[in-house]
Structures are given as C-alpha cells and as structure tokens.
Amino acid sequence: MKAYCSLLFFIVLTSSVTAQNYPSRSNVLWVTEPDHTDWLYQVGEEAKVAISLFEFGIPADKVTVHYSVGPEMLEPDSEGTITLDQGKGIISLGTATAPGFRDCWLTATLHGQPYKHHVKVGFEPEKLKPYTAFPADFEAFWEQAKREAAQTPMEVEKVFVPEYSNEKVDCYLVKLQAYKKGQQVYGYLTIPKKDGQFPVVFAPPGAGIKPMNPLKHLFYAENGVIRFDMEIHGIRPDLDAKTYKEISNAFGQHNNSYLVNGLDDRDNYYMKKVYLSCVRALDFLTTLPEWDGKNLIAQGGSQGGALALVTAGLDDRITACAANHPTLSDMAGYKAGRAGGYPHLYKKVDGMDTPQKLKTLEYYDVVNFAKLIDVPVFMTWGYNDNTCPPTTSYIVYNSLNTEKEAYITPINEHWVSEHTRRVILDWIKTRLQ
C-alpha cells in the first residue's frame, strides 16, 4: 500500500450563505493549521488547531471567534469563544476515544456579517471498520442478477456530437438498452481522433439528476484514452438545465429521492438497475473496435466513485479502479455512533431505521463490493468533506484487500482540484497493460 498526503494546508473561509470553505470574491480569509502536519492523531491524544483570520490580507485583531467541537457529522460536545490576538489563536479539539474524526466549526462576525469555517482532524482512521454486514448470499445474489440482466438484448444508438469534438477528439452521444427491455441509459463517448487502439475508462456520474458536459474530461481522449461518461436514469443528458431541474424536482428529495426508492425490497431497490446498467455499459465498451482489448478502467467521483468501485467488484473485466470520495459507503455507520455515508439516510431521512431497509442496504453498500475487488485501486479524498465524510472513505479503503494507493488532500471538501484530476489520469496510465 502507498499513501500520499497533499501539503496544501491553507484553508479559506465560508460565508454564511454557503457550506464551502472556498467561496469566491471574499475580503476575508481563514487559515487553520493543525499541530500535526498530516492532520492525524493517536486515539487519546489532544489535537490543537492554530487559527488565523485576515481581512484584506491584514490580521483581524481582537475579533471574537465562536467555536463548537464534536465527532464528525454528530452533535458538538464542547463549545466556547476565543478572542484573536493579532488575528491569531489556538483551539483544542480535544481527543477521541475510538478511531474517527472530530470537527471544529468556527464563526466570526465582521461589520455585522458572519463568516464561517470548519476543519476536521483524524484519530487513527486506518483502524476504522465497517458497521455494514456482508450477507452470506451477497455474491450469489449479484451473480444471479447479472445472469438475468444479460438476457436483455444489446441495443445501441450512437450519434456524433460536433460541439464536444475537436481536432483531437470525436465525441458521440450513446443510448444503451440496459437491465430490462425498455430501460435505457445514456452517455458521452469520447475517442482519440487518430489511428490505433486505446485503453477505455468507464466513468459513471455523481449523484443527482442533472445535465452532463464531457468537456472537462476531454483531456482523457486528448491523451490517448477512450472515455465513456455515463448517465444512469435513462434521461437524455443534453436537455437544458431548466428541464433537468423540473425532472429532479419530480424525483423528489429525502424520503422521495431515487436513493430511497424501493429500499424495502432488495430486488426492487432503484440502484439495482443502476448497478446492472454499469455492467451493460462494459458490454458495449468492450465491443468498440478502438478498444485495445486489454485495459478497462472504472473511474469516478462521489456517486461516480461508488459506482466505479461497485463495477470493479461486480465485473472481472475491470483491470483497475480510481475513485474519489465515494458515496453509498457504510451508510448505516450512524448506528455505530459515528458518521455514515451519503445519502445520510440514518441522519436526514425519516423512517429509514427498519430491519428490512438495513438488510437491503447491505446488498448495495460500497464496502461490501470493495471486499470483492482484486485489481489495483487508487482512491483520493479530503478531510473537510461533509457530503462523503472521510470516515466512510477510510472504511472503504480499509476494506480493500488488493493493491491500493491513497492520495489524501486534507483541505478538500466535496471536490477535487484540477491537479488531482491529472494525478488520477497519471495513475491510470501506470496501470495500463
């Protein structure tokens, strides 16, 4: 195992209207510096964070900062205030009695405007283990599901998309029949515009129902890699944003979200179609004459990271997997008294804590697919992420029993930098056969 840690520790503010530490066009800057440069501590060890606050680049002297500290994603267990001396101060985050993360939320008011920020530190997270059980018939369930889905005829529509093509890349909008007759998924296929055969990257999407734009990933095809950016709901990805918003509203939120649709029955859960559609996408990609016949990589972030890992666990045609901050990971972790994975069913959605729903989730949780993966895996995540908490990313990583590498960027919330996107592609290139 290899692990890498980004040394970018300057973290900037979030205003009262956003949960992000990185808003644009602000006059105010937070800097938070844990007293361990890797942001990690031993269980029982006190963690301290030095904070600095600047306005127009000048230390904000004598400003009072309110702080609250507690276990990640749970209620705070301590709070207080500190008055900054020349814009600086030190706060204790206390310690943890078990592996996990603690969060410190900060609020300062300047000229009547509140400015917020938060920072997390970890305590022996390499020892975190999943709460989610591995069903005895897990593999048998999915093998049977794949056999049933394979009975659906392969039907493909492929249309050239000039607006996403250039002198180096050809882009196509693809429609695939998936899972059952009449159920389809879409995706943008980008292929290097030159002679030869190339590796294929299968890239499922992040969570939600929203338009797709392959432009930010054209650099894959420009670097000699075929890429398929997949849509999972059977909705054309080229519809306008307003139409997508209306569709998303129709799917609902929380108790009516697609991520809770059918949870009382493992055979009727919405994500069964999604997982099996990922396998169907591989059926299509492995027929491409431009494919090199060897390299088939699953890659994605958030829900896409979850689906990349799921696909790698489901299908042995995958030769490597790269995932950042995966969702759907140890979702029932809240029942263990710590953070659980997105969509935070046991924190934000009513009526989820039933034996049947818990049992269904065991068949769809990423940690159980991670245990089946036997190809190289690259994962990256940040510590300040409240969408996919670092607790759950560590649990997935710790569950992998294969060659694996971690690229940890502590400052990150629920995003990756452009640099990290390139790091992922560079790793993929090192795993080509």
Give the residue numbers marked as catalytic: 302, 385, 414
Of the candidates 159, 218, 168, the one whose C-alpha atom is nearest the C-alpha of residue 193 is: 168
**What distance separates the 2 farthest-apart alpha carbons in the chain?**
70
CA trace torsion 283, 287, 293, 294 (10° rounding): -20
CB 47: neighbour CB atoms within 10 A? 24
Residue 143 carries which side chain, given as an amino acid letter? Answer: E
Which of the 8 DSSP states describes residue 85? B
153: left (phi over 0), alpha (psi -120 to 50) or beta: beta
Distance of CA 189 to the CA centre of its chain: 22
Of the candidates 222, 205, 280, the one whose C-alpha atom is nearest the C-alpha of residue 422 is: 222
Q: Burial letters for 124-163: b for 16+ Cβ neighbours within 10 Å, e otherwise? A: bbeebebbbeeeeebeeebeebeeebeebeeeeeeeebee
Contact call for residues 98 and 43 (beta carbons, < 8 A): yes
Dist. CA 163–CA 140, nearest whole Å:
44
